[in-house]
Amino acid sequence: MLDETWRPDGVIGPREYFITRALDEGNYEISYRTDGRYIYVGLKVKTSGWVGVGISAGEGMRNGDIVFAYVTDDGRAIVEDHFGVSATQHLPDIELGGTSDIVEFGGKEEGGYTIIEFKRPVASKDKFDISLVEGMQTLIWAYGVDDSPEKHVAMGYIDVRLR
């Protein structure tokens, strides 16, 4: 039962999300729920660096709809809406002429983990976003060791049913 209100407070409550999946031997945990209009995502990753998740276009990072997030040294959560411009690079949608469609977010760093929570529309009008489909969807996931956008220490793919 989902009896907990979603709050982007950096705490992933036991009943705040529908599903939690543990990847990378438990170092990367992704939780999510949808209400038809929005998707709500919680990431809890064993790093003090950046964390990312994206909707795959089937080509690694290229053409992927990527969320790139981190918590600054003074405790502010930064959550950016990115797009995979090539197999090796992603850029903020706003730098590409698109829009940032992460409507609410928050997070914190605690006990060696970076916890990020965000909300975005299931379908956005931005051409740098991928709308969620009915049925299975492939996500890409990754994280780094610090906040600067250096290459991941771990990354991969996961198939999920998001709506």
* Position 66 contacts ligand HEM (CB under 6 A): yes
Task: Write phi, then psi, for 76 (nearest 5 degrees).
Answer: -90, 135
d(CA 55, CA 50): 17
Cβ closest to ligand HEM, residue 12 vs residue 55: 55
Q: Which residues on neighbouring strands pair with residue 113, listed in sequence order?
A: 110
* Position 118 contacts ligand HEM (CB under 6 A): no
In the complex, least distance from residue 62 CB atom to ligand HEM, rounded to whole angstroms: 8
Residue type, 40: Y
d(CA 25, CA 153): 14
Cβ closest to ligand HEM, residue 13 vs residue 24: 24
Site string for ligand HEM, 15-54 (x = CB under 6 A): -------------------------------------xxx
* Position 92 contacts ligand HEM (CB under 6 A): no
Among 2, 7, 75, 88, binds ligand HEM (CB under 6 A): 88
Residue type, 90: H
- Identify whether the C-beta of residue 70 lies closer than 8 Å to the C-beta of residue 51: yes
- With the CA atoms of 93, 38, 55 and 27 taken in that order, what torsion angle do they form, in degrees rounded to the nearest 10? 110
Binding residues for ligand HEM (CB under 6 A) = 52-54, 60-61, 66, 68, 87-88, 90, 140-142, 144, 149, 151-152, 155-157
